[in-house]
Amino acid sequence: MQIIIVSGFLGSGKTTSVIRMGKNFKSKGYSVAVLVNDIGDVGVDGQIINKNGLESKEMPRGCICCTLKYALEANISLVQAQYDPDILFIEPTGVAFPLRIKEQIKKMDFGHEISMGPIITLIDGSRFGELMEHSGDAIIRQIQNADIVLLNKKDLLDREQLAGIKATIEDLNPDAQLYALSLKGEEDGAFTSLMDVLESSFGSGISVTDSPGLLGSGTIAVSAECTTACEDDFNHFNVSSYADSYEVKSFLGREAAMSLILDVMQSIRENILDLNPRFLGHLKMFLHTGTVAMRVSVTSYRDIPELEFVGSGTDDAGKFTVFAAVTDVARDSLADIIEEAVLSRSGQLGINV
Ligand SMILES: Nc1nc2c(ncn2[C@@H]2O[C@H](COP(=O)(O)OP(=O)(O)OP(=O)(O)O)[C@@H](O)[C@H]2O)c(=O)[nH]1
Ligand SMILES: [Mg+2]
């Protein structure tokens, strides 16, 4: 089993990339599983990954690198015993530093059956400038931790912007392999090359080698200082998060479900904008009706909520999960905004939640 850590700030495209890469590996005959660590109390990504036909396990609330260290070890063992996949993707939270997770895994006693593959860091090109302005040191560290950088959301960039961001990333981490792509778009040459590189790493483990520069610089805090270091992860980005899961008791047709999820998202987005007109992060929601599952995602103050259908529903009919993790808004405010939005909007639509 080869482990591939897929890191990157909130909403940069980690889950999208894991699904894309996972499906591609599956079509080539590899078995794939995903361990995902959402930042909030309730997971969203695991549901989306499952709906896309991949095995996934959600890690409980907390950060993989410290509070969940033992859970991570137990879950890796469990995934191995249960699925024994050829490839295990680990998606940490958007505020995690992946090298620290890799260091933790290397200390675990797994023997030769588990090898560490490359660390992948996703960069969202469309928010790069603002993110560097807001929490540059932390973004730089995520880039420098990577063996492979995926400069994602190329479809939202013009040629000049793309060239500028590429140059900055290459400057920050000249050793990393850099691919600029659009994970949401059609498969292109960059994605094919990425898959070839990942596939050729199996067995040999291309890049388990640590960068001595990084390790030697003392920027990576592990073990003893772990709890403090973890709190720092959130502080580095100044992100708070809140998530909750609701049961929709009324029967939900497709139209009613679309109104509910979009109305709740609009309300949450507007209220967060009042508190931070330039918020960055990820607001995401997932709703299952009896026949269809849908999601809505917003990653910055600029995004207009867009609805996506994610496979068919049934098994979790009525389950509505709401998640928000954004910069510079207190957690209590997020909690109030979410609870109020769900209650008031469902009430206005005559839906019993
Ligand atoms: N325009 C565009 N949007 C994309 C692309 N890739 C992903 N997205 C969108 O970006 C949003 C966030 O994607 P996710 O894959 O959920 O991001 P994530 O990093 O897993 O998010 P968290 O787990 O919450 O940190 C979703 O709405 C995706 O559809 C892309 O190439 N172009
Ligand atoms: Mg995700």
pLDDT tens profile 258-311: 999 999 999 999 999 999 999 999 999 999 888 889 999 999 999 999 899 987
Note the ligand closest to the C-alpha atom of 305: 1
Nearest CA to ligand 1 atom 2: 153
- Is 1 within 8 Å of 80 (Cβ atoms)? yes
Q: How far is the CA of 113 from the centre of ligand 1 (A)?
A: 32
326 — pLDDT class (breaks 50, 70, 90)? very high
Residue nearest to atom 12 of ligand 1 (CA): 11
The pick from 120, 154, 297 for probing ligand 1's pocket by mutation, whose C-beta has the most ligand atoms within 8 angstroms, reads 297
For the CA of 152, the closest atom of ligand 1 is 31
- Probe ligand 1: pick from 16, 59, 126, max atoms within 8 Å of CB? 16
CA-CA distance, 314 to 291, in Å (whole number)? 5
Residue 225 Cα to ligand 1 midpoint, Å, equals: 32
Centroid of ligand 2 to alpha carbon of 92 (angstroms)? 8
pLDDT tens for 74-123 read: 889 999 999 999 999 999 999 999 998 999 898 888 888 899 999 999 99
Domains along the sequence of the chain with CATH: 2-235 (3.40.50.300), 239-348 (3.30.300)
Tell me the CA–centroid distance for residue 28 and ligand 2, in Å.
24
The whole-model pTM stands at: 0.91
Say how many Å lie between the CA of residue 14 and the centre of ligand 2: 5
